[in-house]
Structure 1
Amino acid sequence: MAVVDAYWAAPPIARTVATTVFACSVAVYTGMISSGPFWFHYSHLWQLPPALHRLVLPFFLTGPNLGVLFDTYFVFSYLSTLEKSNSKFSRKEDLIWYLMVVGSVIIILNQVFTGITFAYLTGLLIAMCYTATQDQRGQTAHFYVVTIPAQLMPACLLLVTLLTAGMSHFLIGVTGLVAAHFHDFCTRIYPEFGNGPNLLPTPWFISWIMTTPRIQNTVYGSTYVPPKDKQPRSGPLPDSWRSAGPGRRLG
């Protein structure tokens, strides 16, 4: 039960994404489902109906073998850091919008410049690593058995990716680094140092989705909180009296 309690107590976005990544990867590598839907090419958008799911699924497939465990761990670790302590994501919808923006940039860069149509999770990991370490400048981090400055973690991950996974994964990682820089410039650097507005504000509809219906995460799961106009009215009278109709004066 301690493991179950710890799972439900984890940050909800990190928990959900990491679980989905692990489940999809295990299903693909054990042959339960095909890897076809996890590949993306822009021509898939011109189909009828458009294969919109391919915009998301390439980010849910890890590397094979031990990559299933390590990539899932890094996804959970970096997302947890962003969700719990990063100053840029005070609301859940801000983090969701960040993932959407960074993922879109990674797809566009790979479709235009590299021609790579798979393994986009590598780019997302590098992007999240870069963003997570921006608030950790001056601190140290453990990279396997080596202690390094926290801001060097993205470069170290890129180097390991090149040595272990090859040039294609390295290029995807570079697109993730560019995507993270792009988001950081639009939302932090330009507003702070250029005295300009936030160029990528979180759209209102994402906030609306996050609050309708309202979901409260508890240690044992999630509870539904209806909107205020649908919540039962409280008062000193019991429910049976309030539902009995209008009162009448006696005498």
Structure 2
Amino acid sequence: MSSEILDAYWRIPPFTRTFVTATLVISIGIHFGFLPYVWFYYSTWRLFRLLPEIWRPFTSFCLTGPQIGIIFDTYWLYQYLVQLETANPRLPRKEDVLWYLLVVGSTIIALNQYFTGWSFFLHGLIIALCYTSVQDQRGQKANFFFFTVPAQAMPYCMLLSSLLMNPAIIPLQLTGIVAAHLFDFLTRIYPEFSGGPNLLPAPAFLSYFVQTPRLIRRDYGTAIRPRTGAEPSTGSTTGASGSVLPESWKTRGAGHRLGGD
């Protein structure tokens, strides 16, 4: 059973797996008193001081709501991030997903620093992920708790539920919708309707951060990733089926033992 759980865990797409795991660990640690929240919130002056705390822009997206919020926020984060990573035609590569997270996350931080003063931003990112995911699902249906709604209405259903249960986070969620819409406008709407270029293409250097190396170092040896059918072979064949001799040796005739007749 444990091996099946581990196998299922490692089959989760890498960005989703890493983000959800970090969110669960940090949220449980903070809400149960194992970790101090002051280590993780966003602070501009801590980020740009002499010894910069460069982890804060990332950890500030890793805190859920308390109690049942740990379950629901983690579920929504997993659902929409895995959709973005595996089923969004506008983000087909890993570097595109990484670029989306960097741009939208930075926009959410900037908007909240200027307008709301929030220092944890997960709820803004979740609704941004939802907004982006449903843009290509128009005409489809989605389930929001016990209700079936048009897919494109999901972000606004989230806002409505926040209005009923936790109105304080609505300004944070609105910054997430603005950030996601801005990304959508600069990368899709403007190029499609004006004939202009994509104004936010993913930088080429991001490819180096997401490529899987061919040679994988392990503690117990070195593993070579198998070639795909499209990869050319750089080695030479060692013979036909079952033969241990090189192909060129087969044309040399019978062999003779040294020193023999």
Q: TM-score range by the shorter chain?
A: 0.7 to 0.9
Task: Tell me which amino acid in the other structure corresponds to 1:139.
Answer: Q
- Structure ID, larger Rg: 2
Task: Tell me which amino acid in the other structure corresponds to 1:70.
Answer: F
Once the two structures are superposed, residues 109-161 of structure 1 have per-residue CA deviations (whole angstroms, 9 ceiling, x without a partner) of: 0001112222x000000000000111110011111111111101000101212
- Identity of matched residues, %: 48
Counterpart for residue 209 of structure 1: 209
Counterpart for residue 241 of structure 1: none
Answering whether residue 19 of structure 2 is matched by residue 17 of structure 1, we say: yes
Note the C-alpha offset of 1:224.
Answer: 6.8
Note the C-alpha offset of 1:84.
Answer: 1.3
Q: 1:197 to 1:206 in 2, by over 3 A?
A: same
Q: 1:106 to 1:224 in 2, by over 3 A?
A: farther
Aligned length: 228
- Contact 1:41/1:111 (8 A) holds in 2: no
Larger RCO, structure (CA 8 Å, separation 6 or more) = 1
User: 1:43-122 residue pairs with structure 2 within 5 A?
Assistant: 43-118=45-120, 120-122=121-123
User: 1:1-251 residue pairs with structure 2 within 5 A?
Assistant: 1=1, 2-118=4-120, 120-167=121-168, 169-211=169-211, 213=213, 225=225, 234-236=235-237
Say what the alpha-carbon RMSD is for the aligned residues.
2.4
Where does structure 2 lack aligned partners over 5 or more consecutive residues?
217-222, 227-232, 240-261
Q: 1:110 to 1:214 in 2, by over 3 A?
A: farther
Q: 1:206 to 1:215 in 2, by over 3 A?
A: farther
CA distance in 1, matches of 2:195, 2:17: 36
Once the two structures are superposed, residues 64-84 of structure 1 have per-residue CA deviations (whole angstroms, 9 ceiling, x without a partner) of: 111111111111110111111
CA distance in 2, matches of 1:214, 1:161: 46
TM-score, structure 2 as length reference: 0.81
Q: Which runs of 4+ in 1 moved over 3 A?
A: 212-216, 223-226
Higher helix share: 1
Once the two structures are superposed, residues 72-111 of structure 1 have per-residue CA deviations (whole angstroms, 9 ceiling, x without a partner) of: 1111110111111111111011001100100000000000
CA distance in 2, matches of 1:29, 1:60: 12
Note the C-alpha offset of 1:204.
Answer: 1.1
Once the two structures are superposed, residues 172-230 of structure 1 have per-residue CA deviations (whole angstroms, 9 ceiling, x without a partner) of: 100000000000001100111111111111011111222263599xxxxxx7749xxxx
Task: Tell me which amino acid in the other structure corresponds to 1:95.
Answer: V
Task: Tell me which amino acid in the other structure corresponds to 1:9.
Answer: R
Indicate the SS of the match to 1:27. helix
Note the C-alpha offset of 1:237.
Answer: 5.5
CA distance in 1, matches of 2:224, 2:158: 40
- Contact 1:213/1:224 (8 A) holds in 2: no
- Contact 1:187/1:198 (8 A) holds in 2: yes
CA distance in 1, matches of 2:145, 2:123: 18
Counterpart for residue 247 of structure 1: none
CA distance in 2, matches of 1:178, 1:56: 20
Q: 1:90 to 1:28 in 2, by over 3 A?
A: same
Indicate the SS of the match to 2:152. helix
CA distance in 2, matches of 1:49, 1:214: 36
Q: 1:215 to 1:6 in 2, by over 3 A?
A: farther
Q: 1:195 to 1:53 in 2, by over 3 A?
A: same
Indicate the SS of the match to 2:61. helix
Note the C-alpha offset of 1:162.
Answer: 2.8
